[in-house]
Structure 1
Amino acid sequence: MQWEDLKALLLETGSARLSGEAADEFIAKSTAGPGAGGKGSVFFAMGGHRVKLAINQTSRVEIIHRGDGVADLYLGDRQISGRLLRPGLHCPDQAFITVTERCIFSCRYCSVPRLSGKRKTIEEIMDLVESVRHRVSAISLTSGVYDSIEEEENYICEVIDHLKFFGLPLGVSIYPTDQTPDKLHALGVAEVKFNLEAATPDLFEAVCPGLDYELLWRILDRSVELFGKGRVFSNVIVGLGETDEEMEACIDRLTSHGVIPVLRPLNPVAGYAGQSRPSAERLKKLFAKHSRALSRNGLDTSSALTMCTVCGGCDLVPGRDE
């Protein structure tokens, strides 16, 4: 079985039972997005490939940890030998930090508004990066919205100013104002990710009430002007109710604008609890369309330095999972 096929099947399931030797040092916790507040996840790697699976003791996938990161994954009658990756912060090789673990908005796919999260202080963030700086190659920031979009942006800029001390590539994904790309570029941020989340404006309006779809497109275009093609990313969730044709149109529009899409399979929590994750077949079909669109527009995921595209645990990533 090719890695692409295996990963699509694993992303369709999205989780694994974890057994065997103690594996605490290999468990990553999420404080942002749909995975926030869960029991944690593990990154299973085979060769140069990886996949992130939430820990769920009722999953049809099992990972047996043999010790020291050596592990076997079982899917049906298949046994795949590999290893567990030790996360830096949240994911391997990066200090990926959620600054504010709460949000004033109520996007239907997201668990964060249901949690009473806190905001990390600058001292806490600096200490976190210091604790892993010997084994990470980048710093990535994401954040909810504590009080207002404008106030959150100002705080993130303060955080970035301090993090420049480490001299590592810095990626940032926050909800933007009109000034966000210019402010982040002036601070020396390497890459940005502003998330459309939904493939169509109608879906966005239903899923993310109170937020502005067309603003995000303007911000993405301005970001490409400042950071360059291939340094700007946007999450689009697969499984919110869009058709394949609508998702393909969104992929084509993003790539034609110089933006690399991140196609994120739906995690059925919050307002989508009880729904199914997208099928392996659908993920592979969209993966092929995604690959062609990137190639057609001269975009290469292998040049990514930060955030989700360089990690690749949660998604099928053209150029990395082929």
Structure 2
Amino acid sequence: MDWLRLKAELLAEGRVKVVGVPARRFISSSTAGPGAGGTGSLFFSVDGRRVRLLVDPDAALILIHEGMGKATIPFKGELVRGELEPAPLHCPRQAYITLSERCIFSCKYCTVPLGQGRIKRPDEVIEMVMSAVGEIDAISITSGVPVSAAEEERRTVGIVRLLVPFGLPIGVSIYPTPQTPRVLREAGVAEVKFNLEAATPGLFAEMCPGQDWTLLWEVLEESVRIFGRDHVQSNIIVGLGESDEEMEVVVRRLCSIGVIPILRPLAPAAGLAHYARPSAERMLSLHAMLERALKEAGLDPAQAQTMCAACAGCDLIPGRD
């Protein structure tokens, strides 16, 4: 089975039961987005290409850890051999840190507003990065919105300035204000990701009440002017009820302004726990469409240094997979 097909099939499964030698040091916990909480996740890698799977003792998919990170997944009559990648701070080779584990928004797919998570202090963030020096090539920052977008922007900018001396590219993904791209660039940020989340304005209004679709587009366009093509990303969740045609429209619009779309398969949770994950066939079809759109626009996700396009664990990323 070729890698692209295998990864699409594994992403469609989404969850894995880990057996064999204890693999605790390879399992990390997410504090943001639909995967927040739970029993953690791991990164399974084959020849340097990776997929992220949620750990679930009740999953049908089995991963056998043979020790020292060596692992095998029995899948459709084959034994897929690979290795588990360490993720010291949520992501292999990146310090991927959530500043605020609280949010005033109530996106239907997200579990964060259901809890009262922590808000990390600046010194705590610095200590986290220091603990991973030598194991990381980049720093990526994300955050909920515990009070207001403007206040979280100020907090993020202050922490970014403390991280610049590490000499690593810094990516940031927060809910923006109109000035966010400019102030992040002035603080030393290399790349940004502002998430549209849904393929259409109607779905966005339904899934992300209280957020501003028009603002996000304006901020994305401004970000490309400031950070350059290949250095601005935007997540779009696959499986919220959009058609393939609607997905292609938003992908091509993003590519036309120089933004790299990240097609994120839905992880059913919170208010969408009854939804289904998108099928492998759909993810492969959308990946082919995305690949064409990126090529026609002259964009290359492999040029990204931070965040999702650099990791490629949760999504099918042209130029990485």
DSSP 3-state at the match of 2:133: helix
Q: Distance in 2 between matches of 1:48 and 1:125?
A: 28
DSSP 3-state at the match of 2:254: helix
- Pairing of 1:194-209 with structure 2 (within 5 A): 194-209=194-209
Q: Distance in 2 between matches of 1:232 and 1:126?
A: 25
Show the counterpart of 1:157: 157
Supply the AA of the counterpart residue of 2:35.
Answer: G
CA-CA distance at 1:88 after TM superposition: 2.9
What is the CA deviation profile of residues 6-31 of structure 1, one whole-angstrom value per residue up to 9, with x for unaligned ones? 00000101010101111111001100
What is the CA deviation profile of residues 176-225 of structure 1, one whole-angstrom value per residue up to 9, with x for unaligned ones? 00000000011121000000000000000000001000100000000000
Residues 1:254 and 2:254 are matched in the alignment = yes
- Pairing of 1:1-16 with structure 2 (within 5 A): 1-16=1-16
* Identity of matched residues, %: 53
- Pairing of 1:181-196 with structure 2 (within 5 A): 181-196=181-196
Supply the AA of the counterpart residue of 1:26.
Answer: F
DSSP 3-state at the match of 1:19: strand
- The answer to whether the 8 Å contact 2:21/2:67 transfers is yes
Show the counterpart of 1:130: 130
- Pairing of 1:98-247 with structure 2 (within 5 A): 98-247=98-247
What is the CA deviation profile of residues 30-80 of structure 1, one whole-angstrom value per residue up to 9, with x for unaligned ones? 000000011100100000210000001222211110000001012232210
Q: Any unmatched runs of 5+ in structure 1? A: none
- The answer to whether the 8 Å contact 1:237/1:266 transfers is yes
Q: Which runs of 4+ in 1 moved over 3 A?
A: none
Q: Any unmatched runs of 5+ in structure 2? A: none
Q: Distance in 1 between matches of 2:176 and 2:210?
A: 14
- The answer to whether the 8 Å contact 1:236/1:262 transfers is yes
Supply the AA of the counterpart residue of 2:109.
Answer: Y
Show the counterpart of 1:284: 284
DSSP 3-state at the match of 2:235: strand
Supply the AA of the counterpart residue of 1:81.
Answer: R
Q: Distance in 1 between matches of 2:132 and 2:98?
A: 15
CA-CA distance at 1:239 after TM superposition: 0.3
Q: Distance in 1 between matches of 2:60 and 2:5?
A: 17
DSSP 3-state at the match of 2:37: coil
- The answer to whether the 8 Å contact 1:61/1:76 transfers is no
Show the counterpart of 1:51: 51
Q: Distance in 2 between matches of 1:38 and 1:255?
A: 34
What is the CA deviation profile of residues 150-194 of structure 1, one whole-angstrom value per residue up to 9, with x for unaligned ones? 101000011001011211100000000000000001112100000
Supply the AA of the counterpart residue of 2:300.
Answer: D
Supply the AA of the counterpart residue of 1:273.
Answer: A
Supply the AA of the counterpart residue of 2:278.
Answer: P
TM-score, normalization by structure 1: 0.99
Q: Distance in 2 between matches of 1:88 and 1:22?
A: 17
Q: Distance in 1 between matches of 2:134 and 2:48?
A: 21
- The answer to whether the 8 Å contact 1:93/1:136 transfers is yes
Which piece of structure 1 moves more, 44-53 or 67-76? 67-76
Show the counterpart of 1:319: 319
DSSP 3-state at the match of 2:157: helix
Q: Distance in 1 between matches of 2:204 and 2:154?
A: 26
TM-score, normalization by structure 2: 0.99
Q: How many residues align?
A: 321
Supply the AA of the counterpart residue of 1:158.
Answer: G
CA-CA distance at 1:146 after TM superposition: 1.2
- Pairing of 1:67-86 with structure 2 (within 5 A): 67-86=67-86
- The answer to whether the 8 Å contact 2:102/2:113 transfers is yes
DSSP 3-state at the match of 1:277: coil
- The answer to whether the 8 Å contact 2:161/2:188 transfers is no
Supply the AA of the counterpart residue of 1:243.
Answer: S
Q: Distance in 2 between matches of 1:61 and 1:82?
A: 15
- The answer to whether the 8 Å contact 1:60/1:75 transfers is no
The CA RMSD measured in Å over matched residues stands at 0.6
Show the counterpart of 1:63: 63
Supply the AA of the counterpart residue of 2:258.
Answer: G
Which piece of structure 1 moves more, 71-80 or 267-276? 71-80
